């Protein structure tokens, strides 16, 4: 019975059935199924969502909506988890660099990474280099994510990394960057740890850092 509910929960997520998934999460919350097993089922579902996105079978609307379903169900289940296992996978500080007011890519990443279990600190758009550095010092995140759509502002990424070095926190945080203006090569030249072409890849990379 328990196994069937867990399979159903995962299936409702992958059918993009919000009502069905929430109904099952409520059933789990009031029944005998282990909460941790239900949370794992949702995580497994999200992994399939990410794979479908990366294979080009699903697009941003499906990715975002699946993230919303996962968030709604997790909101019901997380408060019921044992303290030891209820913490987020890690904290990620995210913002769009100074001079750039675009937030769509950043927001999609936040939506997906949050539903995958990370705690996200959103610094917003047009964030000056010192804003990123202060947030790293304050929140001690696992990763710092910077979004940059414009070629005109990509130099800001180097300024932030220099700022982290000056404040002696560069080796305490992984830096990941994404956005239309950026490439793998740019990330390497700027001294970032990784470039993410999309939200799913970015989340996978940070999950890998968390695991190691």
Residues forming contacts to other proteins in the complex (CB under 8 A) are 16, 18, 56, 58-62, 64-65, 68, 99-105, 107-108, 111, 125-126, 150-152, 179-181, 183, 197-198
Nearer to other proteins, 56 or 212 (CB): 56
SS (H, E, C) the chain: CHHHHHHHHHHHHHCCCHHHHHHHHHHHHCCCCCHHHHHHHHHHHHHHHHHHHHCCCCCHHHHHHHHHHHHHHHHHHHHHCCHHHCCCCCEEEEEEECCCCCCHHHHHHHHHHHHCCCEEEECCCCECHHHHHHHHHHHCCCEEEEECCCHHHCHHHHHHHHHHHHCCCHHHCEEEEECCCCCHHHHHHHCCCEECCCHHHHHHHHHHHHHC
Q: How far is the CB of 33 from other proteins (least distance, A)?
A: 26
2 or 101: CB nearest other proteins: 101
Cβ 52 to other proteins shortest distance, Å = 11
State in angstroms the smallest separation of the CB of 208 from other proteins: 20
Please identify, using beta-carbon distances, which residue of 51 and 183 lies nearer to other proteins.
Answer: 183
Rank residues 4 and 57 by Cβ distance to other proteins and give the closer one. 57
């Amino acid at each position: 019975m328990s196994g069937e509910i867990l399979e159903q929960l995962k299936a409702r997520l992958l059918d993009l059935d919000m009502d069905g998934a929430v109904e099952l999460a409520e059933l789990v919350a009031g029944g005998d199924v282990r909460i941790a097993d239900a949370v794992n089922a949702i995580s497994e579902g999200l992994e399939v969502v990410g794979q479908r996105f990366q294979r080009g079978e699903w697009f941003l609307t499906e990715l975002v909506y699946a993230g919303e379903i996962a968030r709604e169900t997790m909101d019901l289940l997380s408060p019921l988890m044992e303290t030891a296992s209820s913490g987020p996978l890690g904290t990620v500080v995210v913002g769009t660099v100074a001079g750039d007011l675009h937030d769509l890519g950043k927001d999609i990443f936040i939506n997906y990474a949050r539903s995958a279990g990370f705690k996200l600190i959103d610094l917003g758009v047009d964030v000056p280099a010192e804003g990123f550095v202060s947030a790293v010092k304050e929140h001690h995140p696992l990763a710092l994510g910077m979004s940059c759509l414009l070629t005109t502002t990509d130099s800001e990424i180097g300024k932030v990394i220099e700022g982290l070095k000056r404040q002696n926190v560069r080796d305490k945080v992984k830096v990941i960057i994404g956005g239309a203006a950026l490439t793998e090569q740019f990330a390497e030249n700027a001294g970032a740890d990784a470039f993410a072409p999309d939200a799913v890849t970015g989340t996978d990379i940070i999950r890998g850092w968390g695991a190691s």
